[in-house]
Structure 1
Amino acid sequence: MLKIRNICVMQRRWKGGKKRWNTLQYKKNNCDRALESFDDFYGSVYGNRWKNMRAALLTEHKYVAMVNNFGDTEQTCSMLEMDGAINVKSLIQLAKERQVGGSGEMLKATRGNYDIDQKLDALLRKQQEREVAAVYPSGKEEGHVAPQQLQTNKQESTEAEPEKFEYKQSLTRALEHDVQLDESRLVDPQYGTGGLYEYMPAHSIKGMEDWVAESEHYKYYQTSADFPLTIEADAAFQFPEHLALYTYEMGNCSDFKPPRKCLTGVLSHFLMDGASILPPLMLQVQPGERVLDACAAPGGKSLLMLQTLHLDQLICNDVQESRLNRIRHVMQEYLFDFKQRWSGKRLSFSQSDARNLQDYDSYDKILVDVPCTTDRHVLNKQDNNIFKPSRIKERLRIPELQAGILANCLRLLKPGGTLVYSTCSLSPVQNDGVVHMALQQVFTEHAITATIKDLSQHTALFEDIFKFEQPKGLKYGQMVLPYLPANFGPMYFSKITRNS
């Protein structure tokens, strides 16, 4: 007869650096890479404030509920108010009453130096030093001298470090031209393979054609303006009469009830990150205007502009058919009789890279919500994460893509037309840096000048809801900061009018 013995399971000891009892070796994922990058970049830019912003980004964000005008509007508003939500319109009215008799200061183009400029310069130098250290680990090996700074301009390299430039030239010549074979290095066939008789010198390093220096990302941020620029206060802000938005007060993290089906067959309300309401609101669409949403997916901002009941024609554009299908799905769920009353008439769809749209001088208003690093998403979601190692080239060239989209959209505007550029990133490079680059590009290549609209008086109306960048280290726009009691954003937005 078999006897069952007691089985003792002993934990196996694994050495893992500081963690000496790891059962599995720690593996860095995409979110970890994003957090590490942000700690270095944003920690340098925002200093002590980054700690609180970091905590907010790693926490579930708050929503705003947009009531659907094509559903049971009054019942939906009553339901939200019974749950303790507050109508954004009433908060703005209270803020306007507080502003009576006062006026915001107009933003000046020559308001002085910005601390952020020095911080980004220091960050660029630090990143360049890291890259040099990666190529020259010791910097003291015989025959190798580690350069002090990566040079991208050949003329600057020649003047500043002639010896290094000569050394670089000699390497270039060796790589570009066949080197004379050394006969003494031929191998006798009896000792080796006949294929070794021919020696082909290396002409390139595999993979280098796809290599992009991390420091190149920061160089998109420029500070000197060599183009005409006017900055003036925007006209008075008007909240759309028929738009109903609801939020909870600062510090209240209650969740909204999910949308329900209305008698008309559409959903009752749409939930979106609260900061996302600001770019379309600041665009101030008016009846009779032709409006383009250049990067429209997933469709929340387009839906908000339609809910104002002002638009005569809205064109939703995006680069991929799958993204356009997401927009169509949203519109079908929220617009009554979508196919008969909306599709192709007041609302149409366009599939194109926004850099390639060519119907120039034809739009009254354009919303330019460009692709970006999506800071909150990359810290919390592994899927579609721009910090995936295979997407590093794409990530570092995001500012170049953004500037191309913004520059082309400025050309699509009618003279006197207005656009709002926005990102969901805290990066000064993707925000003010891209605006600066695009304004410079359209002036240099197409002689187009623009006026930046100062929105500081408008954002003051929303200070009971959002936390904005204060003291403002921004040149061309405004930004909602992640903040635990009001965990919206990040959201940067800049309003630009094309001069006639």
Structure 2
Amino acid sequence: MLKVRKICWLPCRWKSGKKRWNVLQHKKTNCDRALDSFDDFYGSVYGGRWKNMRAALLTEHKYVAMVNNFGDTEQTCSMLEMDGAINIKSLIHLAQERKSQVQVQEEGHVANSTEMDSKLDALLRKQQEREVAAIYPQAGEDGAAVELPQKLNYSKDEKRPAEDKKEDNLDYKQSLTKALEEDMQLEQDRLVDPQFGTGGLYEYMPANSIKGMEDWVAESEHYKYYQTNVDFPLKIEPETSFYYPEHLALYTYEMGNCSDFKSPKKCLTGVLSHFLMDGGSILPPLFLQVQPGERVLDACAAPGGKSLLLLQTLHIDHLVCNDVQESRLKKLKHVMQEYLFDYKERWQGKRLIFNMGDARNLDEYESYDKILVDVPCTTDRHVLMQQDNNIFKPTRIKERLRIPELQSGILANCLRLLRPGGSLVYSTCSLSPVQNDGVVHMALQKVFNDHGITTTVRDLSQQVALFADIFKFEQPKGLKYGQMVVPYLPANFGPMYFSKITRNT
């Protein structure tokens, strides 16, 4: 006879391996790895300022709208201005006028006091008129004009205490002298002050072992690519001129305004109306200062925004767009087809040439007047937002650590492609001083030791001052060879480092 045994059901928590909820909750993503690495490395380099940069990097960045000159240009400009966007050209002209007010004459003497007083009074009146117009309406409810309040001005006959006049005169002279000194004085050698920028390069100790931490490598491994001793001719000279292309229309929103631009629309010519790009990306091609008749190379052209900006200046007669992968060239060609009218008949193979190759191996030496060298980098903003194609993926550790070596190889070879007297702009979208000043240093040293090429680094301090109302720039004491747009919440562009170099021999 069979006995029936009682079955007891016990609650059991089923294990599901890697898909278990608490495992997934604590799984580190590629973006997490990037953020941990940046906290470790940039926290050491930038100190307390890294917190503000970090917050901006983790926030959606601002764009600049580039109007397509081959579409409905006037209508597009009107649409952008109606939405509150500002033409960057007008901001540049305003900054140039402001700079001219405090410029000294060639002999070093200050303009006479009466002339300066009249200019300052004119600026003050213009500012007061703007403020009054913003507060008081121009017309009443019945359509009649509203009389604006009179401005308060001191007349020459009005009696004021002698002490007040003396203090005002003293304050005015002090402020004017200070403004003139700040505007004209340039540090020729621009020595790096460790307390501002790259001090962390010398204080931060690299890890000796990563046993049990196979998915992480210290950013300090990059330090072996950064050298501070100068054993080659180093010449740094101020760039004295800047020309904003007459036909280039770029629009942005004022600092603190994070409004979004409307999506591009089809024009009557069949091309798109405007192109949206990170604001920092406009600076490298602008500072390249391409002139009509010059042969230009974009060494790492994809996805194509900077190449398109060079074409929108209407100065380009011959542009070679190079990239290393066929898939990247396809993206580049697609952008050109969408924005260039009569693309196949007028552009492809004639004024616009596509080339697939490693920029380290291009051999058309001394054949280009200008070169844009926007090298592959850690793409700091991208790696904090996108999991796919992330350079901080564990399987790409060696590739990431060799980025400075790749960058210096590209820059050194591009210096050989330049004609004597030609210029290039090297740029990255990284905050890393190793990928920025460090790579420039390494490349300048390499081309001199291997090929006897001497160069001059162009100090763009005066030029970036014209963009101070749009971007936030890194402190000049933290940089030696270039300038850098740093992420900043009210003006959330970048990061974008750029350095301009002219070949001498």
Q: Please give the TM-score of this superposition, normalised by the length of structure 1.
A: 0.79
Alpha-carbon distance, 1:25 to partner? 4.2
Q: Deviation string for 1:464-495 (max 9, x for gaps)?
A: 10000025310000000000000000000000
Q: Distance in 2 between matches of 1:248 and 1:110?
A: 32
Alpha-carbon distance, 1:220 to partner? 1.1
Q: CA distance change for structure 1 residues 453 and 99 in 2, over 3 Å: closer, same or farther? A: same
Alignment correspondent of 2:41:
41
Q: Distance in 1 between matches of 2:354 and 2:377?
A: 22
Q: Is contact 1:107-1:231 (8 Å) kept?
A: no
Q: Distance in 2 between matches of 1:253 and 1:433?
A: 33
1:299 is aligned, of 280, 304, 309, to 304
Q: CA distance change for structure 1 residues 74 and 135 in 2, over 3 Å: closer, same or farther? A: closer
Secondary structure of 1:329's partner?
helix
Alignment correspondent of 2:391:
386
Secondary structure of 1:448's partner?
coil
Alignment correspondent of 2:68:
68
Q: CA distance change for structure 1 residues 11 and 212 in 2, over 3 Å: closer, same or farther? A: closer
Q: Is contact 1:131-1:213 (8 Å) kept?
A: no
Q: Distance in 2 between matches of 1:11 and 1:302?
A: 62
Alignment correspondent of 1:106:
186
Secondary structure of 1:228's partner?
coil
Secondary structure of 1:46's partner?
helix
**Paired residues, what number?**
408
Q: CA distance change for structure 1 residues 471 and 403 in 2, over 3 Å: closer, same or farther? A: closer
Report the aligned-residue RMSD: 2.2
Q: Is contact 1:13-1:22 (8 Å) kept?
A: no
Letter in 2 for 1:262: C
Q: Distance in 2 between matches of 1:136 and 1:302?
A: 45
1:119 is aligned, of 175, 189, 200, to 200
Alignment correspondent of 2:255:
250
Alignment correspondent of 2:246:
241
Q: CA distance change for structure 1 residues 49 and 447 in 2, over 3 Å: closer, same or farther? A: same
Q: CA distance change for structure 1 residues 215 and 275 in 2, over 3 Å: closer, same or farther? A: closer
Q: Is contact 1:88-1:247 (8 Å) kept?
A: yes
Q: Distance in 2 between matches of 1:221 and 1:409?
A: 20
Q: Deviation string for 1:140-171 (max 9, x for gaps)?
A: xxxxxxxxxxxxxxxxxxxxxxxxxxxxxxxx
Q: Is contact 2:41-2:219 (8 Å) kept?
A: no
Alpha-carbon distance, 1:311 to partner? 0.7
Alpha-carbon distance, 1:216 to partner? 3.3
Letter in 2 for 1:121: Y
1:409 aligns with 2:414: yes
Q: CA distance change for structure 1 residues 29 and 96 in 2, over 3 Å: closer, same or farther? A: same
Q: Distance in 1 between matches of 2:12 and 2:59?
A: 34
Structure 1 segment 18-37 matched on structure 2, within 5 A = 22=22, 24-37=24-37
Alpha-carbon distance, 1:265 to partner? 0.3
Q: Distance in 2 between matches of 1:39 and 1:418?
A: 35
1:326 aligns with 2:331: yes
Q: Distance in 1 between matches of 2:319 and 2:383?
A: 30
Alignment correspondent of 1:368:
373
Q: CA distance change for structure 1 residues 264 and 109 in 2, over 3 Å: closer, same or farther? A: same
Alpha-carbon distance, 1:295 to partner? 0.1
Secondary structure of 2:199's partner?
helix
Q: CA distance change for structure 1 residues 212 and 412 in 2, over 3 Å: closer, same or farther? A: farther
Alignment correspondent of 1:430:
435
Letter in 2 for 1:119: G
2:227 is aligned, of 216, 219, 222, to 222
Q: CA distance change for structure 1 residues 296 and 23 in 2, over 3 Å: closer, same or farther? A: closer
Q: Please give the TM-score of this superposition, normalised by the length of structure 2.
A: 0.78
In structure 1, runs of 5+ residues without a counterpart are 1-9, 15-20, 138-206
Q: Is contact 1:417-1:498 (8 Å) kept?
A: yes
1:479 aligns with 2:484: yes
Q: Is contact 1:370-1:423 (8 Å) kept?
A: yes
Q: Distance in 1 between matches of 2:447 and 2:64?
A: 36
Alignment correspondent of 1:264:
269
Q: Is contact 2:198-2:433 (8 Å) kept?
A: no
Alignment correspondent of 2:77:
77
Q: Deviation string for 1:404-454 (max 9, x for gaps)?
A: 000000000000000000000000000000000000000000000100000
Q: CA distance change for structure 1 residues 28 and 309 in 2, over 3 Å: closer, same or farther? A: same
Secondary structure of 1:358's partner?
coil
Q: Distance in 1 between matches of 2:460 and 2:239?
A: 6
Secondary structure of 2:266's partner?
coil
Q: Distance in 2 between matches of 1:94 and 1:67?
A: 21
1:454 aligns with 2:459: yes
Secondary structure of 1:415's partner?
strand
Alpha-carbon distance, 1:217 to partner? 1.3
Letter in 2 for 1:242: H
1:309 aligns with 2:314: yes
Alpha-carbon distance, 1:24 to partner? 4.6
Q: Deviation string for 1:349-372 (max 9, x for gaps)?
A: 000000000000000000000000
Alignment correspondent of 2:90:
90
Letter in 1 for 2:301: A
Alignment correspondent of 1:470:
475
Alpha-carbon distance, 1:110 to partner? 6.0
Q: Distance in 1 between matches of 2:84 and 2:392?
A: 39
Name the % identity: 77
1:400 aligns with 2:405: yes
Secondary structure of 2:56's partner?
helix
Alpha-carbon distance, 1:105 to partner? 2.8
Q: Is contact 1:107-1:454 (8 Å) kept?
A: no
Q: Which moved more, 1:49-58 or 1:108-117?
A: 108-117
Q: Distance in 2 between matches of 1:136 and 1:460?
A: 48
Alignment correspondent of 2:498:
493
Q: Deviation string for 1:386-413 (max 9, x for gaps)?
A: 0000000000000000000000000000
Q: CA distance change for structure 1 residues 11 and 121 in 2, over 3 Å: closer, same or farther? A: farther
Q: CA distance change for structure 1 residues 418 and 213 in 2, over 3 Å: closer, same or farther? A: same
In structure 2, runs of 5+ residues without a counterpart are 1-10, 16-20, 104-182
Letter in 1 for 2:315: H
Letter in 2 for 1:45: V
Letter in 2 for 1:81: E
